[in-house]
Chains A and B, each alone.
Chain A
Amino acid sequence: NAGVTQTPKFRVLKTGQSMTLLCAQDMNHEYMYWYRQDPGMGLRLIHYSVGEGTTAKGEVPDGYNVSRLKKQNFLLGLESAAPSQTSVYFCASSGEDWGQPQHFGDGTRLSIL
């Protein structure tokens, strides 16, 4: 059981380039999330989705877009990368019940020069 899979694992971009991070889960979870993690800042929610075809803004959504065309996939896009977006990005998913924890992917380490 793969759980939550993120691709790619590492990427280096130049300022102004665009890219898409892919998250796939095989647990049939309704909810999916994108976080960024920076030193001393903890995990901060970028965008999330409560079901196929839905997306919503989190705490730090500026500069990012997302799409959830299929229940198992949640895509995070950077249209014009900036050095401030250098971070480790984590995708997570969870079921709908209150007590269910979020399950995390292994992360994508993104550097923007």
Chain B
Amino acid sequence: GQNIDQPTEMTATEGAIVQINCTYQTSGFNGLFWYQQHAGEAPTFLSYNVLDGLEEKGRFSSFLSRSKGYSYLLLKELQMKDSASYLCAVRGIAAGNKLTFGGGTRVLVKP
């Protein structure tokens, strides 16, 4: 089975940086995904890590350490529109590319 933990809620100020941590325990690992979900909307894909290290995409970066079962999503130069939930999801090794999601971290950006 898989267990994924991330903080429930975080608050940050516009223009600042926020780091959302995700820890996982899994019987098989084949990649970690981060999704953004605005209230009442569908999750949208942000990033994918399968090897250790940092992946950077504009203001968003994601880091993975497979040996520690740990990832983080870094949001820089926060904007009001970044207020959303951020979902960490782990892909196992079974057929079907199935994902197991954490409970999500709700980020509130304040002016």
Contacts and interface: CB of A to CB of B under 8 A. Distances in A.
A42 B97 contact: no
B91 A98 contact: yes
B87 A42 contact: yes
Interface stretch (B39-47, B64-72, B73-81): B39-47
Nearest to A51: B96
A52 B59 CA distance: 39
Contacts of B33: 101-102
Contacts of A42: 87, 101-104
Contacts of B100: 45, 59
- Interface residues on chain A, size class: 20 to 34
Interface in A49-73: 50, 56, 58-59
A102 B35 CA distance: 10
B41 A45 contact: no
Interface majority SS (helix, strand, loop, mixed), chain B: loop
Nearest to B34: A101
A105 interface: yes
Nearest to B44: A104
A45 B98 contact: yes
Contacts of B95: 50
B99 interface: yes
Contacts of A59: 100
Contacts of A98: 30-31, 50, 91, 97
Contacts of A106: 41-42
A48 B96 contact: yes
Nearest to B46: A101
B48 interface: yes
Interface of A: 31, 33, 40-45, 48, 50, 56, 58-59, 90, 94, 96, 98-107
